[in-house]
C-alpha cells in the first residue's frame, strides 16, 4: 500500500518523496553554492513529479560530497546562505524538507558536526539533529551530543531523523520509537558494499518498532567514490513498500498512512515488541517485568563500556584514514538528562 508509489494520497495519508541526489565533489565555496542550487532544483522537480507530496528527503552529504573535507570555507552554519536557501524552497513550494549540512563546530573547529535539518512548509527550522554515530574510522565528524529527538511532521505524524551509520545500531531506532516516532527518516551517503546491511537494518528497524522507515542515499560517482542510491520505504511489518535503484537524481515516493502504526502498537498482542520490551512476561507477572537486565545498558550509562574484544581491537582512532589522534575529550549536552532517566528505568519500579 504505497498510493501507487506516492501518486495518490488518501484521507489521513501523507506523501513523502526521497531523492537519490548525485554525489558531488565539493572543494570550494563556489562548488558549495552550486550544490545548494542543484539540491533546490531537485526539490522543485520532485514537487512537479509528485504534486501530492507533503515532504521531501535529501540524502546525507547532498551539498558536501564524500571527500570528508573540513575546510572552514565550506562548512555551514544554521544562519548561513545554504540553510536559508533550503528554507526558501520549502516555503516557495509549501512542503516540508529534510536536508544535510556539515556544520561549523565551536567546541572543536577541526571536527565539524554532521547535521540534519527538518524545515516545515512555512520555511521554519523545526528539528535539528547531530549525527550520533559517525562512520568511523572514515568520518572525522564530532559525535552528536544532544541525543535523538522526535518532531511532529506533516499531517501530525510523529517523526525522527537519524543519519546513515546511526541506523546500524538498533538502539537508535528503538530510542526514536520509545519517544513516539511513527516514521523513522534515515539519510545516507553509503557506498555499494553496505547495500545488504542497508536493507536488513531498514526492514528490521521498521518491524521491531512497528513503524515506517524512509531511507535514501546519494547516488552516482564523483570520480573517486560511488554511492548506491537504494531509496527504500518499509512498512511497520518490515515489508518493502517502494524500492529505489542506483540512478543519480532519481525521485521515489510513497504514501504513509500513520494509522497502520498506531493500530498495531495499540492493539497487537503477538510481536508488539515496543511495548513488550518494558513489560516482559506480563502473562506471568502483573504488568510484566520492567527492570533492566541488560549489562551493556548499565555499563554504558556508568561510563564503563567494555566488550570482551576491547583489549584486542586494533583500530581505535582515525589514523588508518589519515586523521590525527584526537586530543579532546567528548563534551555532552545530553548526559545529565539521560543519566537521570536511566536511573528511573533501572530502579525496578513499574513505569
pLDDT for the residue 340: 46
Locus of grid cell 525496578: 348
For residue 38, what is the enclosing H or E element?
helix 29-49
The residues annotated as belonging to the active site are 60, 131, 164
CA–chain centroid gap for 347, Å, is 31
229/310 Cα distance (integer angstroms):
34
Phi, psi dihedral angles at 98 (to 5 degrees): -120, 125
The per-residue pLDDT for range 32-82, each reduced to its tens digit, is 999 999 999 999 999 999 999 999 999 999 999 999 999 999 999 999 999
pLDDT for the residue 339: 46
Confirm if 193 and 226 have CB atoms less than 8 A apart.
Answer: no
329/306 Cα distance (integer angstroms):
18
pLDDT for the residue 3: 72
What are 18's three cell numbers? Answer: 526521497
DSSP helix/strand/coil, 293: coil
pLDDT for the residue 2: 65
- Per-residue pLDDT of the chain (351 residues), as tens digits, is 667 788 889 999 999 999 999 999 999 999 999 999 999 999 999 999 999 999 999 999 999 999 999 999 999 999 999 999 999 999 999 999 999 999 999 999 999 999 999 999 999 999 999 999 999 999 999 999 999 999 999 999 999 999 999 999 999 999 999 999 999 999 999 999 999 999 999 999 999 999 999 999 999 999 999 999 999 999 999 999 999 999 999 999 999 999 999 999 999 999 999 999 999 999 999 999 999 999 999 999 999 999 999 999 999 999 999 999 999 999 999 854 444 444 444 444 333
For residue 77, what is the enclosing H or E element?
none
pLDDT for the residue 4: 78
pLDDT for the residue 335: 57
DSSP 171-217: HHHHHHHHTT-SEEEEEE---GGGHHHHHHHHHHHHHHHT-EEEEEE
Query: 219: closest CA among 206, 230, 228, 210?
Result: 228
What are 271's three cell numbers? Answer: 510481536
pLDDT for the residue 1: 60
Amino acid at each position: 500500500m504505497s498510493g501507487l508509489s506516492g501518486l495518490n494520497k488518501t484521507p489521513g495519508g501523507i506523501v513523502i518523496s526521497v531523492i537519490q541526489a548525485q554525489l558531488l565533489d565539493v572543494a570550494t565555496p563556489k562548488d558549495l553554492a552550486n550544490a545548494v542550487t542543484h539540491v533546490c532544483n531537485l526539490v522543485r522537480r520532485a514537487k512537479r513529479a509528485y504534486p501530492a507530496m507533503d515532504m521531501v528527503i535529501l540524502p546525507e552529504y547532498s551539498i558536501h560530497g564524500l571527500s570528508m573535507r573540513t575546510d572552514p570555507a565550506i562548512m555551514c552554519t544554521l544562519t548561513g546562505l545554504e540553510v536559508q536557501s533550503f528554507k526558501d524552497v520549502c516555503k516557495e513550494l509549501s512542503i516540508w524538507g529534510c536536508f544535510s549540512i556539515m556544520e561549523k563546530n565551536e567546541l572543536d573547529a577541526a571536527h565539524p558536526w554532521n547535521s540534519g535539518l527538518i524545515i516545515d512548509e512555512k520555511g521554519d527550522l523545526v528539528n535539528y539533529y547531530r549525527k550520533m554515530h559517525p562512520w568511523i574510522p572514515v568520518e572525522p565528524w564530532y559525535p552528536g551530543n544532544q541525543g535523538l529527538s522526535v518532531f511532529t511532521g506533516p499531517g501530525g505524524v510523529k517523526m525522527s531523523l537519524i543519519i546513515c551509520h546511526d541506523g546500524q545500531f538498533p538502539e537508535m531506532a528503538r530510542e526514536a520509537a520509545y519517544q513516539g516516532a511513527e516514521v523513522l527518516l534515515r539519510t545516507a551517503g553509503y557506498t555499494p558494499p553496505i547495500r545488504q546491511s542497508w536493507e536488513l537494518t531498514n526492514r528490521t528497524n521498521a518491524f521491531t518498532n512497528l513503524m515506517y522507515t524512509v531511507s535514501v542515499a546519494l547516488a552516482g560517482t564523483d570520480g573517486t567514490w560511488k554511492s548506491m542510491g537504494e531509496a527504500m520505504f518499509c512498512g511497520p511489518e518490515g515489508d518493502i513498500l517502494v524500492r529505489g535503484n542506483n540512478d543519480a537524481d532519481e525521485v521515489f515516493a510513497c504514501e504513509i498512512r500513520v494509522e497502520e502504526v498506531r493500530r498495531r502498537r495499540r492493539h497487537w498482542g503477538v510481536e508488539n515488541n515496543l511495548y513488550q520490551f518494558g513489560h516482559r512476561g506480563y502473562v506471568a507477572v502483573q504488568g510484566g517485568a520492567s527492570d533492566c537486565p541488560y549489562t551493556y545498558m548499565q555499563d554504558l550509562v556508568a561510563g564503563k563500556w567494555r566488550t570482551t574484544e576491547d583489549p584486542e581491537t586494533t583500530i581505535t582512532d582515525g589514523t588508518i584514514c589519515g586523521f590525527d589522534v584526537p586530543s579532546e575529550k567528548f563534551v555532552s549536552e545530553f548526559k545529565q538528562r539521560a543519566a537521570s532517566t536511566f536511573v528511573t528505568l533501572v530502579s525496578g519500579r513499574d513505569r
